[in-house]
Amino acid sequence: MKNLFGRSWLIAVFIFLYIPIVTLVVYSFNDSRLSTVWTGFTFKWYVDAAHDQELIDGLIISLKLAFMSGTLSVIFGTFTAFVLVRYGRFKGRGMLASMANAPLVMPDVIVGISLLLMLVAMQKWLGFPERGIGTILLGHALIGTSFATVVIISRLREIDHHLEEAAMDLGCKPFQVFALVTLPLIASALVSAFLLTFTLSFDDVVIAAFLSGPGSTTLPLVIFSRARLGLDPSINAVATVIIVVVSVGVIASSLYQLRAGRRRQREVAEAYAQVKN
Amino acid sequence: MAPVIANTDPDVLLRIEGVSKIFDGVVKAVDNVSLSVSKGEIFALVGSSGCGKSTLLRMLAGFETPTSGRIYLSGQDITDLTPYQRPVNMMFQSYALFPHLSVWENVAFGLRRDGLRKAELAERVDAMLSLVQLSKYGKRKPHQLSGGQQQRVALARSLAKRPTLLLLDEPLGALDKKLRESTQFELVNIIEQVGVTCVLVTHDQEEAMTMASHIAVMDEGYFLQVGTPDEVYEVPNSRLVASFIGNVNIFEGKVDEDEPDHITVRCPECTHYVGHGISGVPGMNVGVALRPEKIQLSAQKPNKAHNWCEGEVVEIAYFGAHTTYHIKLDTGMNLKVQQANLTRKTADDLTWGDRVFAHWTRDAMVVLTE
Amino acid sequence: MMFKSILPRIHGLFTVRNLVIAVPMVWLFALAAAPLLLVLDISLAHMNITSVSSLWHWADDELTLKFNFGNYLYLGDDSLYFKTYLSSLKFAAVTTLYCLVLGYPFAYFIARAPAHLRSVMLMLVMLPFWTSFLLRIYAWKALLADNGVVNQGLAELGLVTSPLHMMHTSFSLTIGMVYAYLPFMVLPLYATLVKLDGRMLEAAADLGASPFKTFWLVTVPLTKRGIIAGSLLVFIPAFGEYVIPELLGGPRTLMIARVLWDEFFSNNDWPMASAVTIVMILLILVPMALFNRYNDETKLGDKS
């Protein structure tokens, strides 16, 4: 009985999770402007979206921003993770850990408003920075750093710390240890962290709303302002494109990981089988 | 306890002087130890978990700095040098092979840091791999090797730079019993072939005694005794050392006769006649240590005044090659006796409940004052 | 431990180690801590027509601090603010509860599933997470509108005669919140559930416990960490959620983030907005401290 109960629960929740996504895709092909009454199949919303300059500009800005945010997040996340895991006790460690933890759960509005106030104050005293992509980047990079730190820390903990000692024993100075041993071994976590922070940045509405300036309207901001007004099928078109791209990416990476894991298991088994013979 | 200093050979390679390590101002992991290791010898630090042997090894490697004391290698003070500045290499218990590098690259790793020319580097690595008989496995990654093979790579890697001192951290700990025996000899052969001085750390006293030329028994951060394996086994300097290494029976008693060539010790169980003098006085409390394999068993009462006692067989443990008997003496003491099984089992063999006499020679015991 | 004692000591303060620590410290302080201190400062200041005067006053070689508690007093007086804070806490709590009720069995069944199915299901859970959050909330607008998909479906099935008014209500807001935050509950729960040793459950059964008892006496307590982490991961951000109430909520659904937004963008009253923010932070201070404690990724101990 538990099996049946389990299965139905799983299916029910999965349906709940996917209905909105399916609706988005289905209605992107709907001929009607009132996007909930089905009148016919069409590609016209895709064509519209492709010519929509506001959407395209937003997309480009969001992609640039997400890329830069991902990069900064991984860099600072690596520093934070490394210091928290490998440096033992030091003055201010608790504070660093709290500062790294807080943005994980802090509501975006608080981050947004606090950064905005600081930037305005800086502008008053120092004359810069002007609000724009750079300022949004700061907000995204802060939140990204926290997420990247968590991902990288969990990978760092998995690595046998004797490996780094062995490297030093064999003649590596600390920086060489990091570059030749630590970095290659956490590479997968760095990639995951990048993808995660890229997505968070690409998706963000609130921080961008607080910290953007003229000419730095991100794609989510465009969508958000339109969505407030009502339903717009071009949004469905954009949504479907994003969904397809992301799905392909997620499925591809899952398959890759699965295959790599299987190959490794096989190799280990072979090694032991050979020794027996 | 006073610091124990081993041989003061002019051929000394490693000298540790009064080294202590205190963690967090409270935990004394290593307590004022001093020792000398000669060139080319294998030196073992033995002790149970937490005795400080690993901490001492790490200080030799450079991963910890002593709270006090100095370490000299080839006459040079290396106490404050970082691990990468020392001509010391270590083989880790977990092997610590770099998973993202091939076997060949693992062994070459240390050599690359030295900036060797390409040809010379390749020659060295190949030589190392053939030394451990893994020449054909160069391209494999560590996870594609068995445990024993991984160990050999770790050994090759630690020898590649021709270190002045080689450190081994529980070298056989990760192997199963059968593999351990064969690996023991292989390991010693390779080390002697290369001629490198070696300090190894282990909790397995058998391992220490078979592999090393000198051993130091450690407990709670200091050396209980330092000496050759047979010295430590046959002439332990305290009850602690006697019971740590191998099995032992310890009788407590008082010195009766005290002559230059012999003493007798009166114990509740029996009277010992020890064939050598000691620096002590009559009436002194001593312990007499007697190893199980030095005791003989017979059904008849021995025809001598000392060095025998009587009891009942309460436990028999058959180990195939030898048998251990537990004899309960009349005073309640449990005497452990070990006998090699020279012949196959017969119906006349001792069995549970038999009354038996245990006896030994005058040279079989060691008198302990501590 | 090793990096501490073996790095060569150069110039006391400016060791490599200290410089490496300084990088993330300065970065995080500048972006996370300093701005919040500024918010506190402004919340205690006055608002002139064009600018905000600071609470620090320097005049005649004297530095005085003028604390203007007016904003906070106003917050305390105005019952609307009080109601809004309360309402936000309520919605956050309800969302957390629904996520837990829905998410725990969900995570449980995935964790108990055979290995190959597990990875597929995890992937299916993660997929919505990677697609735009904004777009998925937008989709609910289409689903719950008066002429939306759900109503159409119900009408087709003959279950209703006139459309159910679902948009811009507590109902739509709650559905949207639960939908958005469910993955955040499921993942930490799954992480602890998958580590659960099945043998403990077998031991309980062996000792005579029914499946029901086993669940409550063994499984739940052992996954306490995951439950707390997941709940905090939902509760705290849900409390300060802006987008979902804006798109799916209505005039009756009071959420503090919307108030904050209006105060900031529409009224331009920065000191007021700052005060609202500070009170928000105070309200989530305890949950955040709890989260900090349970997030053992960044903890000391087992550090290498």
Whether residue B292 is predicted with pLDDT greater than 60 in this model: the reply is yes
- Please give the average per-residue pLDDT across C276-283, as a whole number: 90
Q: Is residue A129 part of a domain?
A: yes
Mutation pick from A114, A163, A243 vs chain C, by most beta carbons of C within 10 Å, is A114
For A113-122, the pLDDT digits (tens) are 999 988 888 8
Averaged pLDDT of chain B: 89
Percent of chain A with pLDDT over 90: 55
Helix axes A219-229, A183-203, angle to 10 degrees: 30
Give the other-Cβ count within 10 Å of B15's Cβ.
19
Which residues span the domain enclosing A260? 234-277
Tell me which range, B97-101, C188-192, C271-275, is most confidently predicted by mean pLDDT: B97-101
Q: Answer whether C300 touches B (CB < 8 Å).
A: no
Same domain, A177 and A75: yes
Polymer length in residues for chain B: 370
Whether residue B1 is predicted with pLDDT greater than 50 in this model: the reply is no
ω into residue C183 within 30 of 0, thus cis? no
pLDDT of residue A21: 92
Coil/strand/helix, residue A104: helix
Residue at token pair 């000299």: B72
d(CA B190, CA B134): 13
Same domain, A245 and A154: no
The residues in A 43-102 lying below 8 A from C, measured between CB atoms, are: 76, 79-80, 82-90, 92-93, 95-102
pLDDT of residue B4: 46
Q: Would you call C17 and A88 a contact, using CB atoms and an 8 Å cutoff?
A: no
Q: Would you call C20 and A117 a contact, using CB atoms and an 8 Å cutoff?
A: no
For B190-238, the pLDDT digits (tens) are 999 999 999 999 998 889 999 999 999 999 999 999 999 999 998 888 8
Distance from the Cα of residue B196 to its chain's centroid: 19
Print burial letters for B239-252: b (CB count within 10 Å at least 16), e (below 16).
bbbbebbbebbbbe
Which residues lie below 8 Å from residue A39, measured CB to CB, with a gap of 6+? A30, A31, A32
Whether residue C8 is predicted with pLDDT greater than 60 in this model: the reply is no
- What's the structural domain count of chain A? 2
Range in B82-86, B146-150, B194-198, C202-206 the model is least confident about = C202-206
pLDDT of residue C201: 82
Q: Is residue A163 part of a domain?
A: yes
> ipTM of this complex > 0.85?
yes
Tell me which range, B54-58, C137-141, C222-226, is most confidently predicted by mean pLDDT: B54-58
Number of A:C CB contacts under 8 A? Answer: 262
Q: Would you call A170 and B157 a contact, using CB atoms and an 8 Å cutoff?
A: yes
Residue at token pair 């050396």: B223
Residue at token pair 């975006």: A108
For B343-365, the pLDDT digits (tens) are 887 777 888 888 999 999 988 88
Q: Would you call A27 and C257 a contact, using CB atoms and an 8 Å cutoff?
A: no
Percent of chain B with pLDDT over 70: 97
Side-chain half-sphere exposure of A21, counting CA atoms within 13 A? 22
For A14-44, the pLDDT digits (tens) are 999 999 999 888 888 887 776 567 777 888 8
Whether residue B168 is predicted with pLDDT greater than 60 in this model: the reply is yes
Q: Would you call A185 and B100 a contact, using CB atoms and an 8 Å cutoff?
A: yes
Residues of C in contact with A202 (CB under 8 A): 132
Which residue from B83, B94, B149 is facing A169, i.e. has the nearest CB? B83
pLDDT of residue B9: 54
DSSP-assigned letter for residue A30: B
Same domain, A182 and A273: no
Q: Is residue A7 part of a domain?
A: no
Q: Cα distance from C9 to chain B (closest Cα, Å)?
A: 11
For B31-49, the pLDDT digits (tens) are 999 999 999 999 999 998 8
Assess contact for C179 and A16: CB atoms under 8 A: yes
Domain positions in chain C are: 74-298
Same domain, A154 and A243: no
Pick the more confident residue, A115 or B245.
A115
Class of C74-298 in CATH: mainly alpha
pLDDT of residue C54: 62
Give the other-Cβ count within 10 Å of C56's Cβ.
11
Quickly state the pLDDT bin for A143 (edges 50, 70, 90).
Answer: very high
Same domain, A106 and A172: yes
Phi/psi of residue C209, each to 5°?
-85, 140
Q: Would you call A205 and C147 a contact, using CB atoms and an 8 Å cutoff?
A: no
Q: Is residue A85 part of a domain?
A: yes
Report the CATH number that the domain containing residue A174 is assigned in CATH. 1.10.3720.10
Quickly state the pLDDT bin for C50 (edges 50, 70, 90).
Answer: very low
Closest CA to B370 of B233, B271, B225, B222: B225
Averaged pLDDT of chain A: 89
Same domain, A155 and A93: yes
Q: Is residue A226 part of a domain?
A: yes
Whether residue B3 is predicted with pLDDT greater than 50 in this model: the reply is no
Domains detected in chain B:
12-242 (3.40.50.300), 250-368 (2.40.50.100)
d(CA C122, CA B52): 46
Closest chain C residue to the Cα of A142, Cα to Cα: C31
- Give the torsion sign (CA, B296, B299, B304, B308): positive
B65's tokens: 């700095």
Whether residue A229 is predicted with pLDDT greater than 60 in this model: the reply is yes
pTM of the model: 0.86
Same domain, A148 and A262: no
Same domain, A243 and A211: no
Same domain, A94 and A78: yes
Q: Is residue A1 part of a domain?
A: no
Same domain, A249 and A177: no
Which residue from B62, B96, B141 is facing A166, i.e. has the nearest CB? B96
Q: Is residue A3 part of a domain?
A: no
Same domain, A199 and A258: no
Percent of chain C with pLDDT over 70: 88
Same domain, A118 and A202: yes
Whether residue C234 is predicted with pLDDT greater than 60 in this model: the reply is yes
Range in B87-101, B243-257, C19-33 the model is least confident about = B243-257
Residue at token pair 């020279």: B342
d(CA B15, CA B37): 7
The H or E element that residue B198 is part of is strand B197-202
Q: Would you call B82 and C2 a contact, using CB atoms and an 8 Å cutoff?
A: no
Assess contact for B262 and B276: CB atoms under 8 A: yes
- Please give the average per-residue pLDDT across B76-98, as a whole number: 94
Q: Is residue A42 part of a domain?
A: no
For C86-106, the pLDDT digits (tens) are 999 999 999 999 999 999 999
- Give the torsion sign (CA, A269, A271, A272, A277): positive
